[in-house]
Amino acid sequence: MKAQDIIIGSGPSGLATAHARVAQGRDVLVLDAGVEMEADARDLRNRMGSVEPAGWPGSDRDAIGAVRRSEKSDSIRPFGSDFLFRLPPGLENFADNGGVHGLKPSFARGGLSNGWGASVLPYHRQDFEGWPIGLADLAPHYQAIAPLVGMAAARDGLADFYTGVTIGEDRPLPQSAQARELLARMEAKRGRLSDMGVHFGASRQAIAPGCRACAMCLYGCPYGLIFNAGDAVEKMAAAGTLRYQGGVIVQGFAEHGGGVTLATSTGTFEAERLFIAAGVLPTTRLVLSALGLVGHEVVIQDSQHFYLPMLHRWSTPDPAQEPRHTLAQAFWAIDAPEVERHVVHAQLYTYNDTYAPDMAQRFGPFAGVAKPLIEALSRRLIVAQPFLHSSVSPAIGARLVGERLIYHRIENPRTGEAIARVRRRIAKAAWAAGLVPLTPLLRPGTLGSSFHCGGSLPMRESPIKGECDVLGRPKGLKRTHIVDASVFPTIPAPTITFSVMANAHRIASEA
């Protein structure tokens, strides 16, 4: 089969690429492994999505989050299904990471956006240090992507700090009372926090208008309001603006004089131009193989994150009973060179019903007797999840051996000190805002588990073997563009996907 443009993948980077190419009048074909949720899970979603939350039977409420709420699992299972990380036939061995990291590929229709946290921020001006492009290059593409993901945002203090996107419509989400109180207290201490280099505001989330404040976000939005790239690709296919083929595993590609030939699980495809949006691990594997770079080591950079639980000193009515969303409620940016040379991004989460089971695990055999205490504490808990720049984070070394990526951990001697400095600054700001930081309970995230990873085939002004030019073309290739985070020269701390999409949109617009 032939197309002018073939895009591998229907995740956020594939969707952004498709938008830009369709806008140029190109004939676009999306090839996708396209794993979907099973009928039971789909029925549950459709059933819940067809009525208002007050009409949900208790059995559906229980079913949607049963696995995640259980005391044995913190896994991400939208609508109770494991399709997000399910490996299609032929790729069963893909995910063997040897215990080195927590990054996983997704072969789902829509990729990782089926289970993501939907937090969206552009990078800060300083985040482009070491990149061959700057904020001015991405700004028009952030602006193009914002309506596509349904960015809900308030024009607050963060808008002056992250200037990459202009917030046109002030559309705040249904915040929890805990978040409202926290932000009000921070507002009252704005001067002091500013002296600490702490900027703050409501979270920016890729949630379309119409949120029912039903608190189910962590289990999958029954109303399909949390941005899902697969749904958006499906809509474009239904409208006839592109062609979509799911159930296709791309196994290899090669450029020739007039185009690119793809070998797939369902036969051969031809394109004038190829865009690879398969996510960091599948893209790295595919490209190393196509370039014959067997044994060549690449470095997948990570953004180290950690969890810092805190208790609020003020009282609120029972947070479990109020209407709210349950994704990140507030963002903090720390811009203080004495703490970190690069901007630190932190997401703050208020009450959700996974807190108590998670705490129960930590109480082990005493969980039963401690239940009343756990319930009471979980209702006062606010958890900060700070992210660090890749320059102070460990990384993943990867090389292709046969058909498999083999990994090893690359330590960063600066990580421990960086976490300690950030922890101290966050604790100081938190105390000023009426929180008690539980610093002994700080928990670092495992390598890759933030899914803010990339940089295995970085864009450079003058690329060498294993690197790309500013249009994502690996050295030696002319018609093949990598459009996912594999081409990011560094991994800055703020949320990654908005920048992945903007960069994909830039490459696809200029290619």
List residues binding ligand SF4 (CB under 6 A). Answer: 207, 211-217, 221, 223, 225-226, 325
Q: How far is the CB of 326 from ligand FAD (least distance, A)?
A: 13
Applying CB under 6 A, among 20, 63, 112, 154 the residue interacting with ligand FAD is 112
Among ligand FAD, ligand SF4, none, the one that 334 touches (CB under a kind-dependent 5 to 8 A) is none
Within a 10 A sphere around the Cβ of 187, how many other Cβ atoms?
14
* Per-residue DSSP letter, 35: B
Binding mask 63-82 for ligand FAD (x = CB under 6 A): -------------x------
Type of residue numbered 386 = P
Are residues 507 and 471 in contact, defined by beta-carbon separation less than 8 angstroms? Answer: yes
Show contacts with ligand FAD in window 121-160 (CB under 6 A). none
Residue 303, judged by CB atoms within 10 A of its CB (0-12, 13-18, 19+), counts as: buried
Query: Residue 201 binds which entry of ligand FAD, ligand SF4, none, with Cβ cut-offs from 5 to 8 Å by kind?
Result: none
Strand 28-31 vs strand 2-8: parallel, antiparallel, or unpaired? parallel
Q: What share of the chain is helix, strand, coil (3-state, %, to 5)?
A: 35, 20, 45
Buried b (16+ CB within 10 A) or exposed e, 157-185: bbbebbebbebeeebebbbbbbbbbbbeb
Supply the minimum distance, in Å, between the C-beta of residue 109 and ligand SF4: 19
Least distance CB 417 / ligand SF4 (angstroms): 37
Closest CB to ligand SF4 among residues 13, 176: 176
Q: Which is nearer to ligand FAD, 33 or 308 (CB)?
A: 33
Closer to ligand FAD at the Cβ: 10 or 350? Answer: 10
| Cβ atoms within 10 Å of 401's Cβ, excluding its own | 9
Question: Per CB under 6 A, does 176 bind ligand FAD?
Answer: no
* Of the candidates 510, 456, 449, the residue with the CA atom closest to the CA atom of residue 484: 456
By CB under 6 A, name the one of 5, 12, 357, 469 that touches ligand FAD.
12
Within residues 355-374, the interface with ligand FAD by CB under 6 A covers none
- Residue type at position 282: P
* Position among 3, 29, 41, 118 found at the interface with ligand FAD (CB under 6 A): 118
Which SS3 state, helix, strand or coil, does residue 6 take?
A: strand
Both tokens of 12, joined, read 């956020």
Binding test (CB under 6 A) with ligand FAD, winner from 117, 201, 319, 445: 117
User: What span, in angstroms and rounded, lies between the C-alpha atoms of 169 and 154?
Assistant: 8
Maximum C-alpha span of the chain: 72
Binds 228: which of ligand SF4, ligand FAD, none (CB < 5-8 Å by kind): none
| Residue of 5, 10, 37, 324 that binds ligand FAD (CB under 6 A) | 10
State the binding partner of 127 from ligand FAD, ligand SF4, none, CB within 5 to 8 A by kind. Answer: none
| Paired strand residues for 259 | 256
Among the candidate windows 2-10, 174-182, 266-274, 350-358, which touches ligand FAD by CB under 6 A? Answer: 2-10
Q: Which is nearer to ligand FAD, 116 or 219 (CB)?
A: 116
Residue position matching structure tokens 């927590």: 102
Nearer to ligand FAD, 80 or 279 (CB): 279
Residue nearer to ligand FAD on the CB measure, 117 or 474: 117
Among 79, 83, 116, 269, contact with ligand FAD (rule: CB under 6 A):
116
Q: Which residue is nearest to ligand FAD (CB)?
A: 111
Q: Which residue has the tokens 């720390």?
A: 334
Cα 474 to chain centroid distance, Å, stands at: 24
Burial group, residue 22, by CB count within 10 angstroms (0-12, 13-18, 19+) = middle
Shortest approach of ligand FAD to residue 441 CB, angstroms? 21
**Which CB, 211 or 382, lies closer to ligand SF4?**
211
Side chain identity at 40, as an amino acid letter? D
Check residue 31 for interaction with ligand FAD (CB under 6 A): yes
Q: Name which of 247 and 397 has its Cβ closer to ligand FAD.
A: 247
Distance CA 349, CA 385 (A): 8
Query: Between the CA of residue 365 and those of 123, 369, 370, 371, what are the distances in Å?
Result: 44, 9, 10, 11
DSSP character at residue 431: H
Q: Which residue from 97, 106, 304, 390 is in contact with ligand FAD, where contact means CB under 6 A? A: 106
The residue from 8, 48, 339, 507 that contacts ligand FAD (CB under 6 A) is 8
Cβ(387)–Cβ(344) below 8 Å: yes
- Identity of the residue, 214 or 274, whose beta carbon is nearer to ligand SF4 in the bound complex: 214
| Residue 116 interacts with which of ligand SF4, ligand FAD, none, CB < 5 to 8 Å by class | ligand FAD
Q: Which of 431, 422, 439 is nearest to 337 (CA)?
A: 422
Site residues for ligand FAD per CB under 6 A = 8-14, 31-34, 76, 106-108, 111-113, 115-119, 248-250, 277-279, 282, 451, 484-485, 495-497, 500
